[in-house]
Amino acid sequence: MPIPQKQNQETRLSAKAYVYKTLREWIIDGTLKPGEKIYDQEIAQYFSVSRTPVREAMQLLSDQKLIDITPGKESKVSELDKESTKQSYILLADLHTRALRFAWNNLITSDVELMKSKNEALKKYAALGELKKAHEMDKAFHDVIVINSKNDYIKNFTDILLSHVQRVEYQYFTSKNDYENSGDSHEQIIKAIEENNLEAACEALRQNWLRTMDTVDKLEDL
């Protein structure tokens, strides 16, 4: 199982939390490929921890459908699935729209300016072909709304759903146009917020997610 060169552990995290966070990132960004086997002993050696926190972290990832565990046999990264991914986009459209409704009275000028700056960075990185950074800015844009919703349930549920759609986007969204189109869609959301039009902002946000789902639906090799 090929894994990256070891880095210093973030000591503020527990062993289980650190292993979970790192494995999750590797699965999302494709460091660990769909269907790839995961060996708890090898992971434990890599992080210099016992197998217990590794197994606990892997169980959490299994609960989130990122790892398939067959007791007594093997553990492997879950395969990508187009229909499940499309369903995740639909749920994200619903949850993010609800997050915006919850956040509406909490959003202030500095939040809108932050959304603008993240979106400008997204379009800049997309133009340069730095798609991973563009992807990070896309998430940061939406995080402003989710954080201001002040609802932990929405945050937790969207984080799980995002982990699945991000796996597909990292592997298949290889054109800068994919992110530039998202940036244009974000501008419609910002415009509606600045005009204090909640319904228009919610619809623009919903369409932002559903248009991305349409892109996934057209992928022939997923």
148 vs 6, residue with greater confidence:
148
What value does the mean pLDDT take over residues 113-122? 97
9 vs 189, residue with greater confidence:
189
What value does the mean pLDDT take over residues 52-68? 96
* pLDDT over threshold 60, residue 167: yes
Residue-level length of the chain: 222
222 vs 58, residue with greater confidence:
58
What value does the mean pLDDT take over residues 144-170? 96
| Residue 101 main-chain phi, psi, to 5 deg | -65, -40
DSSP codes of every residue in 124-191:
HHHHHT-HHHHHHHHHHHHHHHHHHHT-HHHHHHHHHHHHHHHHHHHHH--SHHHHHHHHHHHHHHHH
Cα-based distances in Å from 107 to 5, 12, 144: 41, 31, 9
* pLDDT over threshold 90, residue 176: no
* pLDDT over threshold 90, residue 221: no
What value does the mean pLDDT take over residues 143-149? 98
pLDDT interval class at 6 (50, 70, 90): low
What value does the mean pLDDT take over residues 26-39? 95
What pLDDT is stored for residue 1 in this prediction?
Answer: 63
Dump pLDDT digits (tens) for 65-75: 999 999 888 99
Average pLDDT, the chain: 93
What value does the mean pLDDT take over residues 69-84? 93
12 vs 113, residue with greater confidence:
113
